[in-house]
Amino acid sequence: MNKFDTIYKNLIKDILENGIEETNHRTGHKTKAIPGLTFSIDIENDGFPLLTLRKIPLKMFIAEQIWFISGGRKPEEFLRDFTKIWDEFTNPGDVVTVAYGYRWRKHFGRDQLGLLIKLLEKDPSSRHGVVITWDPAGDGLGGANKKNVPCPYTFTVNIIGGKLNLHNIVRSNDTILGTPADVAGFALLQCMLAERLGVKPGIYTHSISNAHIYDIHYDTANEIISRNNEHTKIDLNIPKDAFARAEKRDKMLVEEIFSDIMKQYTPMEAIKGIKIVL
């Protein structure tokens, strides 16, 4: 198995065996959960963190991350051509009010991603590379009732030893459906930022405040634990000027990244019928 497969399999096993089972009031589902879970992947040495223990829809996380970088908030603008993953969270105007990329680039009156790049170009040693998604004016704490609030709510970026590292902090992760997609998506963002800044990608770190498995996913979790896949690492080759092309919602960029991964991706069969809990 690749490094991420091993980490992920151990994570799922730990939650099933040691997680506390409780009923979630909002969803009505039982979950087994562990607090404060963190893992890291060295992208250069361990490879791109893409799960192979079950087949993952590649264009979903690739297109989603490009949409984020562009600052979009309407799925009809680019994203829906590749995935409908955010359609459940739109308002009557087809707007995702908590769209991550919009919050990174426009919501707080600052282009956080643009400023991040300028900061690290000027001072690669800076430790101020923090991007926020969570809006304390209305998110959480029993505030406004929304279809969604950010799960990955902040990330930090720094350059150490000529390598760009990204630490993604997640308040809540459905580890069966959410974690594999979030890890791949934010690691892709890390690789695209590294290419933009002319450095190599370094350590991707994923921290989860509440790592859980829903009751309807217990069988899927046990199936994943039973699997082993002899799979070599994926060395992701980011196209030149990928970040700038993402800002312009270049559809060919999705195809190029997808093609590069597909040449190396040999997953086990998909597990059908995994339903999302909203």
**Could you read off the pLDDT of 24-71 as tens digits, one per residue?**
999 999 999 999 999 999 999 999 999 999 999 999 999 999 999 999
Structural tokens at position 24: 């979630």
Task: Establish how many alpha carbons lie within 13 A of residue 97's alpha carbon, considering only the half-sphere containing its beta carbon.
Answer: 12
* Tokens 């829903």 -> residue: 214
Q: pLDDT by residue (tens digit) across 82-123?
A: 999 999 999 999 999 999 999 999 999 999 999 999 999 999
Say which residues have a Cβ less than 8 Å from residue 246's Cβ, sequence separation at least 6. 65, 66, 69, 70, 192, 253
Q: Is 93 helix (H, G, I), strand (E, B) or coil?
A: coil
What's the chain's average pLDDT? 96
Find, among 216, 202, 175, 251, the residue nearest to 10 by Cα.
Answer: 175
191 as an active site residue: the answer is no
Q: Which two tokens stand for residue 169?
A: 């902090």
Q: CA dist 89 to 52, 62, 74, Å?
A: 28, 19, 10
* Catalytic residue (choose from 33, 37, 63, 151): 151
**Helices 178-197/3-18 angle, 10° precision:** 140
Q: How far is CA 61 from CA 30, 65, 106, 137, in A?
A: 27, 6, 22, 28
**Whole-number Å distance between alpha carbons of 45 and 175:** 24
When computed from its CA atoms, the radius of gyration of the chain, rounded to whole angstroms, is 18
Task: Report the C-alpha gap between 62 and 76 in whole angstroms.
Answer: 16
**Strand duo 152-160 + 130-132: pairing:** antiparallel
- Give yes or no for a contact between 278 and 214, defined as CB atoms under 8 angstroms apart: no
Confidence band for 254, pLDDT divided at 50, 70 and 90: very high
Residue 128 binned pLDDT confidence (cut-offs 50, 70, 90): very high
Distance CA 138, CA 8 (A): 33
**Residue 244's pLDDT band (boundaries 50, 70, 90)?**
very high
Residue 151 has which token pair? 């799960």
pLDDT at 1: 85
pTM exceeds 0.95 for this model: yes
| pLDDT over threshold 80, residue 214 | yes
With a CB cutoff of 8 Å and minimum separation 6, the contacts of 26 are none
The reported pLDDT for the residue numbered 232 is 79
- Is the pLDDT at 146 greater than 80? The verdict is no
- In order of start, what are the domains of the chain with their CATH numbers? 3-262 (3.30.572.10)
Instruction: Indicate if the alpha-carbon torsion angle 192, 193, 197, 202 is positive or negative.
Output: negative
pLDDT band at 145 (very low <50, low <70, confident <90, very high): confident
Q: What pLDDT shows up at residue 221?
A: 98
